[in-house]
Amino acid sequence: MMTERTVAEFFAGIGLMRLGLEQAGWRIVWANDIDEDKLQMYRGHFGTDNARFHLGDVHALRAGDVPPVGLATASFPCNDLSLAGARRGLAGKHSSAFWGFLEAVKTLSPRPPLVLLENVPGFLTSRAGSDFEDVCLALNELGYSVDAFMIDAVFFVPQSRQRMFIVGKLEAREHTGTADPQAFYQSQLRPPALADFILRTPGIKWSLRDLPRIHKTETSLDDVLDEVSIDSTQWWSTERAAYLLSQMSERHRAVAEELMSGNTISYGTVFRRVRNGRSMAELRTDGIAGCLRTPRGGSGRQILFCAGRGQYAVRLLNPRECARLMGADGFRIETSFNKALFGFGDAVCVPVIKWIAENYLNIAWKEMHVEEAIAA
């Protein structure tokens, strides 16, 4: 077994998986993505270092392209696992990239002792759960037992961003059941739907770890916002802001007007959504941003609503604010506004990955090496 905590980062995007793992002592030696704009952001922050970046389709990788590593990560495309992607599943054009990742892992000798997958919560229910089961069984076939859990970035940053994670452990001991199913259903990181799936699919080789409780970091949307002068061009025109207000339902409009009448400045975020065939503006004012998304077609751009003392103003959240919402405040941004929004909207939350590395991967790595030493 490899003794160095090295990583091959598939679907690397702009490198936020890397940031989280590096903060927990892992070293990325190889990365891959198909998007040139993301490569530009990746290189803009990390430069040309020892992590060789392979730009291209994961399906085109050949034996020898990926070096042997201790951990392989894959934040494979979620497009076809969500409602937005019409639930095409792992057979869809984008999410089928997972099978390219799996083929690449097959070619590695030795295989990585650990695998970490990341995707949206809809992965669990995609095609009535068959996609999730197929992935777990495919990892089993390669010698990995699997574990699964969900973490919301809101524990660490003021952004609602729940994600599914699967850990594969090479030749780990097979899980034989939970001693207390009731306690298992009360788990913070394994919600009932996931717990139910695990307990009802004994055909999958599970290896479940008791995970510590995450204590929420008390942060608010206000904490990540820049001080933007009211005469800045970032703020929308009066006409454009008024149009957004007109797109709110009666309930959301009442909340907006309540903020405007306040004696202090308050902030909320707005997403445009199609409701009954109409584009509607939905306002959130609990101090938590909605989930950052890729701004395809404009609807994914998260809008900041600032109101108080009889006035209101509107602008988009800017790239630096998005970086903070992903726990990556120090990330160097050397690309256009829209490309940066796309990069952060399609990334992982850094402190979430750091937590997984410190509370799962590092411990599993140590245990696996201890077991190997005993066996020798």
How far apart are alpha carbons 248 and 238 in whole angstroms?
16
The residues pairing with 146 across neighbouring beta strands, listed in sequence order, are 168, 206
Nearest 10 degrees: Cα torsion 48, 51, 53, 59? 180
Q: Residue 218: CA atoms inside 13 Å, Cβ hemisphere, count?
A: 0
| The pairing of beta strand 266-275 with beta strand 144-152 | unpaired
Q: Rounded to a whole number, what is the distance in angstroms from the first to the last CA of the chain?
A: 12
Q: For 75-78, which contacts have Cβ atoms below 8 Å and span 24 or more sequence positions?
A: 75/10, 75/11, 75/13, 75/17, 75/117, 75/118, 75/119, 75/347, 75/348, 76/10, 76/11, 76/101, 76/117, 76/119, 77/11, 78/119, 78/120, 78/122, 78/123
Residue 211's contacts (CB-CB under 8 Å, 6 or more residues apart) are 149, 187, 188, 189, 359, 360
pLDDT at 297 over 60: no
Q: Where in the chain is the domain with CATH 3.40.50.150?
A: 6-217+348-375
Q: Tokens 């704009």 label which residue?
A: 37
Total-model pTM:
0.92
Phi/psi of residue 129, each to 5°?
Answer: 90, -5
Residue 375's pLDDT is 59
pLDDT recorded at residue 296: 63
- Reported as a pLDDT band with limits 50, 70 and 90, residue 179 is very low
Q: What is the pLDDT of residues 97-136, one digit of tens each?
A: 888 899 999 999 999 999 999 999 988 988 788 889 999 9
| Antiparallel, parallel or unpaired: β 278-284 and 266-275 | antiparallel
Q: What is the mean pLDDT of residues 168-191?
A: 71
Q: For residue range 2-58, list pLDDT tens digits in order.
A: 678 999 999 999 999 999 999 999 999 999 999 999 999 999 999 876 668 999 998
Of residues 75 and 274, more confidence is placed in: 75
Closest Cα partner for 31 from 5, 58, 4?
58
Hunting for tokens 């190889």 — which residue is that? 30
Q: Which of 320, 349, 314 is nearest to 337 (CA)?
A: 320
The whole-number pLDDT of residue 273 equals 86
* CB of 195 closer than 8 Å to CB of 276: no
Q: At what angle do helices 36-46 and 337-345 cross, to 10 degrees?
A: 90
Are the C-beta atoms of 256 and 262 separated by less than 8 Å? no
pLDDT at 88: 57
Tell me the pLDDT band of 90, cut-offs 50, 70 and 90: low
Tens digits of residue pLDDT in 38-53: 999 999 999 876 668 9
Query: pLDDT value at position 94?
Result: 46
Q: Say yes or no: domain 6-217+348-375 is CATH 3.40.1160.10.
A: no
Distance of CA 16 to CAs 45, 228, 322, 345, 352, Å?
10, 26, 12, 11, 10
Say if residues 271 and 302 touch (Cβ distance below 8 Å). yes
